[in-house]
Amino acid sequence: MTEKDHNPQQKEKKAMKKQEAVEKAGDTPLQNPKMKKPIETPKKIEGKKTKEIKEEQKTPEKKEVKKETPKIKKTEVSAKGINLPISTKDAKFICKFIVKKRIGDAIRDLEKVELGKKAVPMKGEIPHRKGKRISSGRFPKKAAKNFLNVLKSLAANANQNNLDEPIITEAIANMAERPYGRFGRTQKKRTHIKIIAKEKKKNNEKPKVSQAIKHSRNKESRQRV
């Protein structure tokens, strides 16, 4: 026989002690009958919510303000094509064909050359072509395709720098290192290209002539008469 079965009055004594402990504590409920410490009820604060109090307790974070550096506007843009697999002779004639044109016009003309609708003027023993200010010419389609890629990158650079009506001022084609083909029998064609475009200058206003120069000119004209 165990103690509980032998002494049944012991259970009643333990229950009475628990009731007395609850009456002494008052309204605070126990977390568990085995736990000694009661649960602490949260105190209600009048007029302010708990979220507002937490926000007040937080320290304000200092935001670092970055100083914006002023961007220098460019008036010149360039694009390069390195080791392109095209003939330097064809590239030089295309450079002459492109210069002093707008980037958009140059792209349209080279697209026509690629389709075989417009010829690039060339010199030498080359068959004649029909067109204004052209005697002999060809349709270098491979070179025109590579030039189009360089011109599109040039147009993107001009848009990024906000250039107004950029015009191609320089187009340079130079011979690059020509690697040997298989078994060293032939040398392949390689060319470097550089194209520069500048913003169009707006000089619509006539140069102002000083009044003294005007007066002297009028005197000279009267004396001659």
73 compared with 125, residue with greater pLDDT:
125
61 compared with 96, residue with greater pLDDT:
96
158 compared with 51, residue with greater pLDDT:
158
Q: Give residue 132's pLDDT.
A: 78
User: In the chain, pLDDT over 90 holds for what percent of residues?
Assistant: 45
Give me the residue spans of the domains in the chain: 76-199
With contact defined as beta carbons under 8 Å apart, do 96 and 173 qualify?
no
* Residue 37, pLDDT above cutoff 60: no
Strands 120-121 and 137-138: antiparallel
Question: Three-state SS string across 186-205, please?
Answer: CECCCEEEEEEEEECCCCCC
Q: Give residue 157's pLDDT.
A: 94
What value, to the nearest 5°, has the Cα angle with vertex 91 and ends 90 and 95?
Answer: 120
- CATH of the domain spanning 76-199: 3.90.470.10
Q: Which of 53-62, 98-107, 110-119, 138-147 has the lowest mean pLDDT?
A: 53-62
81 compared with 11, residue with greater pLDDT:
81
Structure tokens at 15: 């229950």
Q: Which of 38-47, 88-97, 143-152 has the lowest mean pLDDT?
A: 38-47
Q: Which of 23-37, 114-128, 154-168 has the lowest mean pLDDT?
A: 23-37
Q: Which of 58-62, 105-109, 122-126, 130-134 has the lowest mean pLDDT?
A: 58-62
Q: Give residue 18's pLDDT.
A: 76
225 compared with 172, residue with greater pLDDT:
172
Q: With a threshold of 0.75, does the pTM exceed it?
A: no
Q: What is the dihedral of CA 12, 15, 19, 20, to 10 degrees?
A: 70
Q: How confident is the model at residue 194 (pLDDT cuts 50, 70, 90)?
A: very high
